A and B are shown apart, each in its own frame.
Chain A
Amino acid sequence: MAQKQSHSEGHHVTPLAIYYKIGLALFLLTFLTVGAHSIREHIQPFAALVAFSIAGVKAYLVMAWFMHLKYDKPSNRLIFSLGFIFLAVLIGFCALDIVSRVAQNSIL
């Protein structure tokens, strides 16, 4: 995809048209989320997966374009992704705990 990239004083400046396109895409994806919600009876048990997949795409658009991570330094991308990596560790160990202990003799 050929994108116009202008540089001023070493800072990357995203063209206006891209911001509008990303904004429009986020709006459409929000409508898609609600659309999928309205037919959730027909797409069970995948309704939650669909809703969070759309949320994931929206999150990517916000992070890459609005938060400028696409053109940020790799070290900043690493710092931010570490938050998600350690979140995954937390979810992983909690899931192990629930499957192996809590779900078997729950007092919760």
Chain B
Amino acid sequence: MSTNRLVDGVNVASHYRDATHQYDSNKEGIWLFMTTEILMFGGLFVGYIIFHTLYPEMFAEGATYLNWKLGFINTLVLIFSSLTMALGIYYCQVNQRNKATLALAVTILCGAIFMVIKYFEYTHKFHLGIFPGEKLNLEMVKPEHANLGLYFGFYYCMSGLHGLHVLIGMGLITWVMIKNIKGEFNSKYFTPVEGVGIFWHIIDLIWIFLFPLLYLVG
């Protein structure tokens, strides 16, 4: 853009004093966004806690329909992807562009593995007639508790919203990876990689709590 200017090799928009001002403002925006993410998922967690308190046996029954081994594998996949994302930022910071590209590509691949496992989990449940809320097929599932659909309402909303974040995150990482291949990042300018990285880590952060909540404790 014509209003941008180069300061020490960094493209600085006209409304910023310098590169540091730009970097700090961008980071602050990312963190404000992350706070809204915590509040959005937090609301779902609070709803889960409330209804779990009211119907503990029904939620325990719900958790038995989930395969914790798949959740466990997905946890490991997501943690590994968080590590490779952090490495992607690191390699941008030390001007190793090809290694950064590789780390980001592995992160996208891990996101894809996570979604494939999620796909098998969902389709298996659909096959058994397990749908959220009143759509739960009571004749096929024959649950002990007639209101089991409530548990799966939470399950599909929370894991579905999380899965949507994984898909968006994969898109964003692809975007910064392409920018990285074009050579737009270096030790002085890597803000988009770091911002996308923070978004990816919050996906990991939420899954760290979703895994015991949905799969283990129930």
Q: Which residues of A contact B (CB under 8 A)?
A: 8-11, 13-14, 16, 19-20, 22-23, 26-27, 30, 33-34, 37, 40, 47-48, 51-52, 54-55, 58-59, 62-63, 65-68, 72-73, 75-76, 79-80, 82-84, 86-87, 90-91, 94, 98, 102-103, 106, 108
B27 touches A76 (CB 8 A): yes
> What is the distance, in angstroms, from A15's C-beta to the closest C-beta of chain B?
9
Q: Is the interface of A mostly helix, strand, loop or mixed?
A: helix
Q: Verify B83–A62 contact, CB threshold 8 A.
A: no
Closest to B79 in A: A26
Chain B 70-90, CB within 8 Å of chain A: the 1/0 string? 001001100110110111001
B117 within 8 A of A: no
B31 CB within 8 Å of chain A: yes
- B171 interface residue, CB < 8 Å from A? no
Residues of the B chain whose Cβ atoms lie less than 8 Å from the Cβ of A14: 86, 90
* Min CB–CB distance B36 → chain A (angstroms): 8
Name B209's closest neighbour in chain A (CB-CB). Answer: A55
| Complex partner residue of B90 from A13, A62, A91, CB under 8 angstroms | A13
Given A51-B216, A102-B54, A91 and B49 touching (CB < 8 A)?
yes
Residues of A within 8 Å of B28, CB to CB, are 73, 75-76, 79
Whole-angstrom CA separation of A33 from B143 in the bound complex = 28
B residues in contact (CB < 8 Å) with A: 20, 23-24, 27-28, 31-32, 34-39, 42-43, 45-46, 49-50, 53-54, 68, 72, 75-76, 79-80, 82-83, 85-87, 90, 93-94, 187-188, 194, 197-198, 201-202, 204-205, 208-209, 211-212, 216-217
Which residue from A37, A52, A54, A79 sits with its C-beta under 8 Å from B32?
A79
Closest CB in chain A relative to B71 CB, distance in Å = 9
The chain A residue with its CB closest to the CB of B198 is A67
Q: Within the assembled complex, what's the spacing in Å between the Cα atoms of A79 and B211?
A: 26
When C-beta atoms are compared, the residue in chain B nearest to A82 turns out to be: B35
